[in-house]
Chain A
């Protein structure tokens, strides 16, 4: 519970008021009737059903929370994608180098058409792998493995 709980139930003496009087010269000279003031201030509780108020507030704020979560997710996804794109030129250059080498090797052993077909298939597989990896970034951000509930049983 908060340290600043409302103390309107009337049991607490006016400690804050007493503390003030103790260090305030004019108040010390002519002390105010703290007990009486505290009694009056404590007279009665605030007639509010705070729980009901909070429930209605929570309902009203749900769309705002969803919007906030969505905005943050997009920001994270964009940042992660941009970060993931940084090494892409180097990776592509390396792959092109490897594919050229592989084509040279395979075409020495097999007919050129068959070698081109094999290398093209491998290149298509690599492109698919890249696309899947980048597409997984926003999906994993939206549903991180750590947040998934373990299977029951």
Chain B
């Protein structure tokens, strides 16, 4: 089976089968990451924009790096830009994004989302990358463009904050 980096090289030649494979591999982690970062808003736009940039800049991808790191780096930058545009707070869940068999779990997901939303953006990014996506501290640092020590300290502050919420009995 081709590696992500090999698929990215084929994508740079305009191979749509390579894009299909990459989409299949990353559709769930990437969409979940964006969902958690933005609280479920504009997920489709950001998801498509991320892949559009991947296709557009595939020729510039350095195959000695990990594709996943590069992909999430693009997504993080787009999500940060999205937060800077200060969208209105009203929650707008798009119906056709919601899988029918998972709707009943949306309340529990909303609780987890509220817990994450309590965290500052920088801490939330670290928790999502380390906890949900299993990136190492080095990889998270690479994606976020900060030193490993910063990832550690953000993780520590995020944990302290979450622990505080749990101890208070707040969610």
Assuming the contacts A5-B28, A6-B133, asked whether A72 and B13 have C-beta atoms less than 8 A apart, the reply is yes
A134 to B7, CA, bound (A): 32
Report which of B19, B33, B133 forms a contact with A61, defined as CB distance below 8 A. Answer: B19
Q: Contact: A47 with B105, CB < 8 Å? A: yes
Residue contact B97 to A44, C-beta cutoff 8 Å:
no
Q: SS class of chain B's interface: helix, strand, loop or mixed?
A: helix
A27 within 8 A of B: yes
Q: How far is the CB of A54 from chain B (nearest CB, A)?
A: 4
- A43 is contacted by which of B72, B98, B108 (Cβ under 8 Å)? B108
Q: How many A-B residue pairs have CB under 8 A?
A: 173
CB distance from B119 to the nearest CB of A (A): 11
> Which residues of B line the A interface, CB within 8 A?
4, 12-14, 16, 19-20, 23-29, 31-33, 35-36, 40, 43-44, 47-48, 51-52, 55-56, 58, 68, 72, 93, 96-99, 102-103, 105-112, 115-116, 127, 130-135, 152, 155-156, 159-160, 162-163, 166-167, 171
A and B contact pairs by CB, cutoff 8 A, 11 listed:
A6-B133, A26-B160, A41-B112, A41-B127, A41-B131, A43-B109, A46-B35, A46-B36, A49-B96, A53-B31, A68-B12
Interface residues in chain A, defined as those with a beta carbon under 8 Å from any beta carbon in chain B: 1-8, 14, 16-17, 20-21, 24, 26-27, 32-33, 36-38, 40-54, 56-58, 60-62, 64-66, 68-70, 72
